[in-house]
Amino acid sequence: MAKPRAFISSTIHDLQHVREVVADSLRNLGIEAVLSENGHVPYGNGEALEEDCYKEIELCDILISIVGKRYGSESAEKGYSISQKELRRALLHGKQTYIFIDRYVYQDFGIYKLNKANKPITYASVADTRIFNFIEELEQFATNRPIFTFTTANDITNMLNEQLLGLFQRLLSEHNDRSRTLCKHTTQQLPPMIQARLPDQHPACVRIQTLLNIPDQITFSTVTELNGLLRQNQFHLVKPLPWESHFEWAKVLNGIQWYLRISKTIFDHDETVVYSPVKLWDDSLITLDRDELESKER
């Protein structure tokens, strides 16, 4: 089974430890972490190395953008860093993205916004103020993608764990909603006698459980499954003749011959149960009869 793939986008030399910690955390979740410095990006001939990274992002499911104190290498497209272009490529292709910014850099960014029109000032956390342009762009993207701040690598891994588990739960919920909608739609399109295809709702299950005093709920969807269930209760199948209208199971207990007869009309041509609503059910479709052998012998 293919694993989800997550591309970790950031400057490398200053955030090497953070990248490794995040990658290890992803692997523990069963996600393949893609790190360009570890040879995870296949480089080709004739194109800039950064283009190979962008192509690899297209093959990943998630992009994790980590912004630290450095602006990083400039892209071939002037005015942008490679990290900016990586995020742009992920957004262009609709990838799930998570954005993390160093807490102190983000604090200085707030000061930068207040002093844009003033004389340039020196910031404690960054040397290249172009990184603030990157963060401004991130905030534009973040209308439905929250920006998280971090101090340590563990801050990132903890938040990623919560976000990814939340995403998994949401996807499961959406899948279940779609399944319920599809099931409801499909059921509404079926003729009444084959609606409600849920084994534990089938009145035949309830009828047999009641007649045979079986304590636990039973389910079956084919004659074969029913036969296995009845064999556990000492009934054996009496092979029906082609013109007979019912299946019959029999057993002998304490001198009494018991016959369980089930109408063939509750099965279709391949001996699969036809599920019908309770309101259309008739108990006479399944009967349990007895024949006292000893009295017959006398």
CB 161 within 8 A of CB 27: no
Looking at the structure, tell me whether residues 136 and 109 fall in a common domain. yes
Q: Domain for residue 235, yes or no?
A: yes
Q: How many residues can be counted in the chain?
A: 298
**Residues 157, 159, 163, 164, Cα dihedral to 10°:** 10
Q: Domain for residue 27, yes or no?
A: yes
The pLDDT, as a whole number, for residue 198 is: 40
The pLDDT, as a whole number, for residue 43 is: 52
Which of 250, 218, 256, 222 is CA-nearest to residue 237?
A: 250
Model confidence over 267-286: pLDDT tens digits? 888 888 876 555 567 889 99
Looking at the structure, tell me whether residues 164 and 205 fall in a common domain. no
The pLDDT, as a whole number, for residue 48 is: 60
Q: Domain for residue 187, yes or no?
A: no
Is pTM beyond 0.85? Reply is no
Domain end point (choices 123, 148, 175): 175
Query: Looking up tokens 């000492």, which residue turns up?
Result: 234
Q: Domain for residue 189, yes or no?
A: no
Domain end point (choices 175, 204, 238): 175
- We report the CATH number of the domain holding residue 38 as 3.40.50.10140
Q: Which residues of the chain have pLDDT under 50?
A: 44-46, 183, 186-200, 295-298
Q: Based on the structure, what is the number of domains in the chain?
A: 2
Q: Which domain holds residue 65?
A: 5-175
